[in-house]
């Protein structure tokens, strides 16, 4: 049942991200559709998928299986994304060879990053300092992506308000998550001990 949840959520993310790309009409578009596409294609969200898989599977399986869950989740999402792209038509003008090359790149990346992020998800179930750090990985990644990579600043609101406000929402949610993680760690008194 846990594997079905991981596979279902993974396929859904891949399909929704691809469908949102088609609907948004490309990277130079603005507005609501572009903001949704940007959220569904965000690196932190896909990383969160692998962490989620490791976390879900850690409740039932030992670390090798839950860690592999991150890789399986990302591979499933990548497959869903590119399968939709093939079925919906070539939206990038790169032909099947271009889509195939991009799919291979992301599939290989999913192996390496999926295993690492699956391990993060596995450790996120822990109640010690390591667990707190593991739970903070996705919110910190979201902050870094929105503030550093995508450079959310005052000018962004003038260029594309939808995209800027979606980024601002991600920042607020990430800060709330980090505060909750910190409060939880302080309440349980498990901030300084690393162990099972």
Give yes or no for a contact between 9 and 121, defined as CB atoms under 8 angstroms apart.
no
Helix residue ranges per DSSP H, 59-128: 63-88, 95-123
Give yes or no for a contact between 80 and 18, defined as CB atoms under 8 angstroms apart.
yes
Residue whose C-alpha is closest to residue 91's, from 139, 47, 29, 2: 29
Q: Which two tokens stand for residue 189?
A: 């008194």
Residue 125: helix, strand or coil by DSSP?
Answer: coil
One digit per residue, pLDDT tens: the chain, 196 residues?
899 999 999 999 999 999 888 887 765 666 788 888 889 999 999 999 999 999 999 988 888 999 999 999 999 999 999 888 778 765 555 555 666 777 788 888 899 999 999 999 999 999 889 999 999 999 999 999 999 988 888 888 888 888 889 999 999 999 999 999 999 888 876 555 444 4
Give yes or no for a contact between 45 and 16, defined as CB atoms under 8 angstroms apart.
no
User: Environment class of residue 91 by beta-carbon count within 10 Å: exposed (0-12), middle (13-18) or buried (19+)?
Assistant: middle
CA diameter of the chain: 56
Parse the chain into domains and list their residue ranges: 2-188
Per-residue b or e along 43-60, where b marks 16 or more CB atoms closer than 10 Å to that residue's CB: ebbbbbbbbbbbbbbbee
User: What is this structure's pTM?
Assistant: 0.85
């Amino acid at each position: 049942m846990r594997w079905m949840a991981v596979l279902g959520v993974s396929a859904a993310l891949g399909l929704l991200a691809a469908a949102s790309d088609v609907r948004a009409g490309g990277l130079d578009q603005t507005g609501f559709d572009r903001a949704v596409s940007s959220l569904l294609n965000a690196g932190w969200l896909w990383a969160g998928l692998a962490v989620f898989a490791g976390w879900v599977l850690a409740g039932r399986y030992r670390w090798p299986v839950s860690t592999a869950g991150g890789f399986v989740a990302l591979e499933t999402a990548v497959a869903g994304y590119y399968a939709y792209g093939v079925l919906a038509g070539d939206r990038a003008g790169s032909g099947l060879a271009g889509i195939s090359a991009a799919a291979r790149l992301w599939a290989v990346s999913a192996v390496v990053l999926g295993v690492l992020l699956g391990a993060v998800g596995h450790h996120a179930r822990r109640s010690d300092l390591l667990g707190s750090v593991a739970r903070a990985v996705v919110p910190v990644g979201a902050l870094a992506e929105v503030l550093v990579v995508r450079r959310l600043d005052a000018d962004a609101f003038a260029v594309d308000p939808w995209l800027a406000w979606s980024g601002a929402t991600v920042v607020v949610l990430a800060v709330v998550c980090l505060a909750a993680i910190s409060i939880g760690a302080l309440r349980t008194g498990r901030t300084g001990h690393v162990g099972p």
